[in-house]
Amino acid sequence: MTAVPGSPLVPCFARSLLLGGLLAAALIVLSGCALLPRNPEPGRTTFSAPLVSLPIVLTANTPIIEIPRSKSGPWRFLVDTGSSVTLVSPEFAAHAGRRGATPEAGVSVRSASGEVITLPAVTLRRLDLGDVRFESVPAVVYDFDALSDHFGERIDGVLGFPLFRETVLTLDYPQSMLHLTPAGSSGGLMPGARLRFDPANRVPLVPMEVAGQPVNALVDTGSDGGLQLNPAGLALRFVHPPVAGAKVATLAGDRQQRLGRIEDPARLGTHVFSQPIVDLNDSLSSLGGGLLRHFVATFDQSRGELTLFRDPGTSLATPAMRSGGLSFRRTPAYWRVSHVIAGSPAARAGIQEGDLVIRIEGEPVANWTLRRYDAVSARVSALQLTFLHGLQERTERVEFFTLVP
Domain segments of the chain as ranges: 1-319, 321-404
What's the pLDDT at 238?
97
What's the pLDDT at 156?
95
Task: Report pLDDT digits (tens) over 300-325.
Answer: 999 999 999 998 878 888 899 999 99
Task: Report pLDDT digits (tens) over 264-314.
Answer: 999 999 999 999 999 998 888 999 999 999 999 999 999 999 999 998 878
Task: Report pLDDT digits (tens) over 328-382.
Answer: 888 888 999 988 999 999 999 999 999 999 999 999 999 998 888 888 988 999 9
Q: Rounded CA gap, 247 and 258, in Å?
A: 10
Percent of the chain with pLDDT over 90: 60
235 by Cβ neighbours in 10 Å (0-12 / 13-18 / 19+) ranks as exposed
Instruction: Report which of residues 190 and 91 the model is more confident about.
Output: 91
Look over the chain and give the mean of its residue pLDDT values, rounded to a whole number. Answer: 83
Task: Report pLDDT digits (tens) over 244-259.
Answer: 888 776 544 567 889 9
Task: Report pLDDT digits (tens) over 228-241.
Answer: 999 998 999 999 99
What's the pLDDT at 60?
84
- When computed from its CA atoms, the radius of gyration of the chain, rounded to whole angstroms, is 21
What's the pLDDT at 338?
87
260 by Cβ neighbours in 10 Å (0-12 / 13-18 / 19+) ranks as buried
Residue 187: pLDDT above 70? Answer: no
Residue 29: pLDDT above 70? Answer: no
Listed in sequence order, the residues at least 6 apart from 348 whose beta carbon sits closer than 8 Å to its beta carbon are none
* Least confident residue range of 55-69, 127-141, 148-162, 205-219: 148-162
> Would the CATH topology of 1-319 be identical to that of 321-404?
no
Whether the Cβ atoms of residue 249 and residue 176 lie closer than 8 Å to each other: no
Whether the Cβ atoms of residue 138 and residue 37 lie closer than 8 Å to each other: yes
What CATH architecture is 321-404?
A: Roll (2.30)
Residue 79: pLDDT above 90? Answer: yes
What's the pLDDT at 254?
66
| Domain 1-319 coded CATH 3.90.76.10 | no
Where residue 148 falls (left for φ over 0; alpha for ψ -120 to 50; beta otherwise) is: alpha
Residue 34: pLDDT above 50? Answer: no
What's the pLDDT at 11?
25
What's the pLDDT at 250?
54
Neighbour count for residue 388 (Cβ, 10 Å): 15
pLDDT band at residue 52, thresholds of 50, 70 and 90? very high
What's the pLDDT at 313?
79
Residue 31: pLDDT above 50? Answer: no
Residue 108: pLDDT above 50? Answer: yes
* Least confident residue range of 31-35, 97-101, 283-287, 329-333: 31-35
Task: Give the mean pLDDT of 75-104.
Answer: 86
pLDDT band at residue 135, thresholds of 50, 70 and 90? very high
